């Protein structure tokens, strides 16, 4: 487990390749473990090997999780209905920092509290503290733009691409005119890059070899 965390933090991917001749695709995954926002790192993926065939599109999937704590104290002189959103913007980018795919997971709580009780303790009659908030959201974007196909096609065997990944905290509270909020926001991400292609003649045997290798790794 310690090795896994170091690899992810250094931007070295936990990569799994899946080759399926029925769908003519190859996919690779990499993860960033849970850590306090705002973080930025890089994930390394193999580029598409053109000996497999002609790349037609690239799909990017990110599953992002926000977790942590939220607290509020209403200072209003009358009851208020307060909403707190534990929220993060988590994404994967091209090397030029343009976005490939982004998710905004939100864990929300809404509660009506009494007028300010005179004690700013994020509890009592006018405050609340939530300690186990979490939400996960996934999104997929696919590109067949010539520039992306060129960017993700290897110029030589074994070439990789380093993609920036980030998680920015965007937590917020609302509902009272005079409101104190306190957030501790964490984010994690799992990213997948999938290549769709038209196979080259005679490449089927190579797909079988890669698939067998992948099955052995999973065991």
* 149-192 pLDDT tens trace: 999 999 999 999 999 999 999 999 999 999 999 999 999 999 99
> What is the rounded average pLDDT of the residues 117-143?
97
Domain range for residue 128?
A: 2-218
At residue 97, does pLDDT exceed 70? yes
Where residue 175 falls (left for φ over 0; alpha for ψ -120 to 50; beta otherwise) is: left
Strand order in the sheet with 18-20: 18-20, 25-36, 179-199, 53-74, 127-143
Confidence of residue 5 (pLDDT cuts 50, 70, 90): very low
47-56: pLDDT as tens digits: 999 999 999 9
> What is the rounded average pLDDT of the residues 94-104?
98
Q: How many domains does the chain have?
A: 1
* Most confident residue range from 13-17, 21-25, 94-98: 94-98
pLDDT value at residue 200: 85
Confidence of residue 115 (pLDDT cuts 50, 70, 90): very high
Question: Which residues sit opposite 87 in a β-bridge?
Answer: 106
> What is the rounded average pLDDT of the residues 98-109?
98
Q: What mean pLDDT is reported for the chain?
A: 87
Give pTM, 2 decimals.
0.82
Residue 63 and residue 61: Cα distance in Å, rounded? 7
At residue 124, does pLDDT exceed 60? yes
Tokens matching residue 202: 């005679």
Where is average pLDDT lowest: 117-126, 139-148, 176-185, 204-213? 204-213
At residue 1, does pLDDT exceed 50? no
Tokens matching residue 55: 């790349």
At residue 39, does pLDDT exceed 80? yes
Cβ density class 133-149: b for 16+ within 10 Å, e for less: bebebebeeebeeeebb
| Among 90, 89, 93, 72, residue whose Cα is nearest residue 81 | 72
List strand residue ranges (DSSP E) for the chain, in order.
18-20, 25-36, 39-46, 53-74, 80-93, 99-103, 106-113, 127-143, 160-169, 172-174, 179-199
pLDDT value at residue 150: 98
pLDDT value at residue 213: 43
pLDDT value at residue 203: 63
């Amino acid at each position: 487990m310690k090795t896994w965390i170091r690899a992810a933090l250094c931007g070295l991917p936990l990569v799994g390749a899946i080759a399926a001749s029925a769908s003519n695709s190859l996919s690779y995954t990499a993860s960033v473990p849970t850590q306090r926002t705002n973080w930025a790192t890089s994930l390394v993926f193999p580029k598409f090997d053109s000996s497999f065939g002609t790349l037609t599109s690239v799909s990017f999937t990110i599953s992002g999780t926000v977790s942590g704590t939220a607290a509020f104290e209403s200072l209003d002189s009358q009851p208020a209905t307060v909403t707190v959103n534990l929220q993060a913007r988590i994404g994967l980018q091209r090397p030029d920092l343009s976005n490939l795919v982004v998710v905004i997971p939100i864990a929300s709580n809404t509660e009506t509290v009494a007028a300010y009780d005179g004690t700013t303790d994020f509890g009592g009659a006018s405050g609340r503290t939530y300690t186990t908030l979490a939400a996960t959201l996934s999104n997929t974007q696919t590109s067949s733009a010539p520039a992306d196909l060129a960017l993700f096609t290897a110029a030589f065997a074994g070439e990789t691409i380093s993609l920036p990944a980030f998680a920015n905290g965007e937590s917020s509270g609302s509902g009272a005119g005079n409101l104190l909020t306190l957030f501790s926001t964490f984010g994690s991400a799992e990213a997948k890059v999938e290549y769709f292609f038209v196979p080259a003649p005679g490449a089927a045997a190579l797909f079988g070899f890669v698939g067998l290798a992948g099955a052995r790794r999973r065991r």
